[in-house]
Structure 1
Amino acid sequence: MNNLESRDGERAEEAEQSSMAASAMDGVAAAALRSVLHRVQQAAERSGRGPHQIRVVAVSKTKSVSLIREVYDSGHRCFGENYVQEIIEKAPQLPEDIEWHFIGNLQSNKVKPLLTGVPNLAVVETVDDEKIADRLDRMVATIGRKPLKVMVQVNTSGEESKSGVDPAACVELVKHVALGCPNLEFGGLMTIGMLDYTSTPENFKTLANCRSEVCKSLGITEEQCELSMGMSGDFELAIEMGSTNVRIGSTIFGAREYPKKQPK
């Protein structure tokens, strides 16, 4: 065997090993999802609810389209992304029946590319002021898509590094969305929690209290105001404290894979 054939053989072997490793990781993600759904079911039962009352958003930030597809093929349909550029690149490569949730900070200049690039966007969970609500409302009308479901993000931890409206101003922002934005559908409240992305019972209690005030102000039932709270480190506690929507990334997909910075 000459050197060229040897190198080709090595490349083929490396490609096969890489493919096998990717396949194994895909299998791990599907198994991890099943484990998460089982834990969700147990937490829901502890809170006196059924698992069908809890939505699991599989947060695929930094993950490949092929890995998302494997989780999709296992039966899951609800996925979340944090960055506009990432979701508008991934969504067209994946089935149209995916229910996409945008769960990152949204700037006004990113609203148009988000809405036009992801026709099957189901929810924006991070409306934190009237300006972004108005921008979403106008753009939904401009492009002629069906009303967009949104959640109001509340800063329950009081950290300056976190986006979200102050709990004391939550009701006013919700009223603006529900009564002043005809092309938006108010869906509920969302919080991220503490700086390390875990929450304390106080964070969850704060969001639940905000829901009580919102429901009283708008004259709606609690079932009409979802609570999006709980992530990989605290979703069971969140469900036990009333969450209807948990956002789970690393527990399903593994640690996030940020590109290494190139040397200058």
Structure 2
Amino acid sequence: MILENLEEVNKRIISACKKAGRDPKEVTLIAVSKTKPSSMIEEVYGAGIRAFGENKVQELCEKYKELPQDISWHMIGHLQRNKVKQILGKAELIHSVDSLRLAEQIEEDAAKLDLTVDILLEVNVAEEESKFGFKLEETEEAILKIATFPHVRIKGLMTIAPFVEKSEENRFIFKKLRQFYVDMQSKNIDNVTMNVLSMGMTGDYEIAIEEGATLVRVGTGIFGTRYKIGENEV
């Protein structure tokens, strides 16, 4: 069932790219494997997927030890400052840098290990109280500040759109972030590559792709319903 789901997701990605006049190679699928056992991840890995997303530090660290070393792990959940050092060197990309204080902590811990850490700034475009992230109007100032950190490299932006009945309702969220992303690209800020736009989940990744996403985070659409309940599906 998982492989059929994955095939369907890949077809939809290709279809969304075609509709938007984009090359499917511009979009990377991140299989969100939070709460899923290693056996399920291995099945998706066997189908050629190498990018997996985790929400919790402990789970990412455990799976990092258990699973093949060529997996690209993405930290997509809220990251507490006291857990930063645990994932440095393990997560290829931290999507969820949602405050200046967190970025400062990453810089501090990365400096001790002499590492350069790739991050995305999480932008709460819809300004939902239940979600973390910079407000859109605060983000440029944060980018300029974090760009001065020698051990942190801003690769782009991430957002989690609201949970909606119809995915089309989130188009303006993705469009808004894409416009800001393009604006930031044009400024050519030192230490900011701004070539990654992580947006779109199971319910709305096709719309996100149409609006310029380069990474989409799909969990339920591949693995089925999660074991834990009471949270938005991804």
The SS at the match of 2:187 is helix
Contact 1:153/1:189 (<8 A) preserved: yes
Report what 1:162 is aligned to: 131
Question: Gaps spanning 5+ residues in structure 1: where?
Answer: 1-27, 260-264
* 1:1-264 → structure 2 map (5 Å cutoff): 28-115=1-88, 119-145=89-115, 147-178=116-147, 180-195=148-163, 200-218=170-188, 224-258=194-228
Runs of 4+ in structure 1 off by over 3 angstroms are 195-199, 216-220
- From the superposition, tell whether residues 150 and 107 of structure 1 become closer, same or farther in structure 2 (CA, over 3 Å): same
The answer to which structure, 1 or 2, has the higher relative contact order (CA under 8 A, 6+ apart) is 2
Q: Could you tell me how far apart the structure 1 residues matched to 2:208 and 2:2 are?
A: 22
Question: How high is the TM-score relative to the length of structure 1?
Answer: 0.80
Question: How high is the TM-score relative to the length of structure 2?
Answer: 0.90
Q: Offset of 1:215 from its aligned partner?
A: 2.0
Q: What letter corresponds to residue 245 of structure 1 in structure 2?
A: L
Higher helix share: 1
Considering only CA atoms, is the larger Rg found in Structure 1 or Structure 2?
Answer: 1
Q: What letter corresponds to residue 74 of structure 1 in structure 2?
A: A
Q: Could you tell me how far apart the structure 2 residues matched to 1:126 and 1:132 are?
A: 9
Q: Offset of 1:50 from its aligned partner?
A: 1.1
Contact 2:76/2:95 (<8 A) preserved: yes
Question: Gaps spanning 5+ residues in structure 2: where?
Answer: 230-234
The SS at the match of 1:193 is coil
Q: What letter corresponds to residue 139 of structure 2 in structure 1?
A: C
In percent, how many aligned pairs have the same letter? 38
Report what 2:232 is aligned to: none
Q: Offset of 1:88 from its aligned partner?
A: 1.2
Q: Could you tell me how far apart the structure 1 residues matched to 2:97 and 2:145 are?
A: 11
Q: Offset of 1:183 from its aligned partner?
A: 1.2
The SS at the match of 2:133 is coil
CA RMSD of aligned residues (A): 2.1
